[in-house]
Amino acid sequence: MQKALLCLLLLSLPVISDATATTEIHYKPLQPLLSGVTQQYPLLQQVLANPEPHRLQIIYTQIDRDADNKPTLIYYQYGLDNERYFYPASTVKLPIALLALEWLAEQNIAGLNSNTTMLTDAATDWQSAQADDPTALNGLPSIAQYIKKILLVSDNDGSNRLYELLGQDFINQRLAAKGLTNSMVNHRLSLPLTTEQNRQFNPVRFVDAKGKPLLTLPARSTQSHYTNLNNPTLGKAYIKDNELVKLPMDFTDKNRFSAADFDSVIKRIIFPQLFSQQQRFQIKPEDRDLVLRYMAMLPPDSTSPLYDAAQYPDNYSKFLLFGGKAQQLPPHIRIFNKAGWAYGHIIDGAYIVDLQQQVEFFITAVVYANENDILNDDLYQREEVAIPFLRELGQYLYQYELKRPRRYQPDLREVRRVTTLNTEID
């Protein structure tokens, strides 16, 4: 009981944001670097010639190392606008996963770690329980297994379970405290729940191998209302209950995750040393390894879960550089990324590494591919425009990186370490 009360206190404590902790980023224009795009990159050329309908936002970041291998980041942007709303889709799963590990590190309870069995109960008839996980080796759910599925195939249920563990207050207060002020998480994904239902969170229990409770959280809720204050809308119309509503769709009560914040989250897990202590995700080294490993792992290399390579090929969700027709990734390439797609938006953010050529760089991109500007009609140009665009963007910048002079070659041993034998280790 004391442990449960302690956890409730931790979840409800207000978090104060220190604005001075946020490092100001100076972006260079990306347009001059893209001026060399030729017909070799037809979709990239097409979208750049008419970017406005695609609501294009790109952040490209060069990495220069010094003699001690310390990285310096040089930022470039195209169309970046923190005030321009886009639906972030599954990209919000990355900070949710990182915050779950941060919450876990704060509990300081013997036997409680990312592999500990996590049982989700139901306090209402609309909530669902989770007492097993057939995809796990031991058949039981855990934070680690949820994160693994989130990062490998963007599993919705895994993210929703971590959302229910943390609750809106913890998630949003922590994001704000880290300077991620254009981010907000206020609902589960792909579940037809009301705003009020999304403000209620399931009971959760952590138990040891013998079923003994280590930590118990009762059902919780929040009195706070996390909404988009500028009441963003998207599209000119949308489908609801099989009917066309001839109005823009309201996203006031939807998640928010700006391109700059998404890009910054990826950099905080790749290069935490470049951020202040307050800006970092305070997770254990072994949990950081877990995240990096599964950001880079390819679905066919997993054995628990075991994924059908036809449905989940190597390049599943690796849109930058390899998006499109199923193909294998070269063994010397590592892509640490998170992607998302919904409501015509395709988003990908990645740290891309070529171990053979000793090249490393970041790309984050958002593209809208919805020619008729109607939402929910499933007539998006995801395969025809968005994914080929992201592939060609990655390829173009990769070729640029291959030619870009570097005074010092990067030491990429950490990348090799976290992705060694990038297959399952049981």
pLDDT at 16: 27
Buried b (16+ CB within 10 A) or exposed e, 329-342: beeebbbbbbbbbb
Of 118, 305, 292, whose CA–CA distance to 216 is shortest?
A: 118
Where do we find the tokens 């100001």? 24
Tokens 């291998």 found at: 69
Quote the pLDDT of residue 420.
82
Cα–Cα distance for residue pair 46/43, rounded to 1 Å: 5
**CATH code of the domain made up of 2-418:** 3.40.710.10
Nearest to 187 by CA among 261, 112, 93: 93
Measured distance CA(183)–CA(262) in Å, rounded: 9
Nearest-angstrom CA–CA distance, 315 and 313: 5
Q: How many residues does the chain have?
A: 426
DSSP state of 187: S
Query: What residues contact 371, with CB distance under 8 A and at least 6 apart?
Result: 53, 379, 381
- Rounded distance, CA 339 to CA 168, Å? 22
Nearest to 207 by CA among 303, 103, 121: 121
Residues 25 and 17: their CA atoms lie apart, in Å, by 18
Contact 252, 232 (CB under 8 A): yes
No. of helices (H) and no. of strands (E), the chain: 11, 18
Where in the chain are the domains?
2-418
- Spatial separation of the C-alpha atoms in residues 201 and 217, rounded to whole Å: 10
* Site of tokens 């075991």: 306
- Residue type at 347 in one-letter notation: I
Per-residue pLDDT of the chain (426 residues; tens, 9 = 90+): 333 433 433 333 333 233 333 468 999 999 999 999 999 999 999 999 999 999 999 999 999 999 999 999 999 999 999 999 999 999 999 999 999 999 999 999 999 999 999 999 999 999 999 999 999 999 999 999 999 999 999 999 999 999 999 999 999 999 999 999 999 999 999 999 999 999 999 999 999 999 999 999 999 999 999 999 999 999 999 999 999 999 999 999 999 999 999 999 999 999 999 999 999 999 999 999 999 999 999 999 999 999 999 999 999 999 999 999 999 999 999 999 999 999 999 999 999 999 999 999 999 999 999 999 999 999 999 999 999 999 999 999 999 999 999 999 999 999 999 998 444 544
DSSP state, 315?
T
Q: How far apart are the C-alpha atoms of 152 and 294, rounded to whole Å?
A: 6
Q: How far is CA 329 from the centre of its chain?
A: 21
Query: Using omega within 30 degrees of 0 as the cis cutoff, is the peptide bond preceding 313 cis?
Result: no
Output the CA torsion 182→186→192→195 (10° steps).
-120
Residues 331 and 320: beta-carbon distance below 8 Å = no
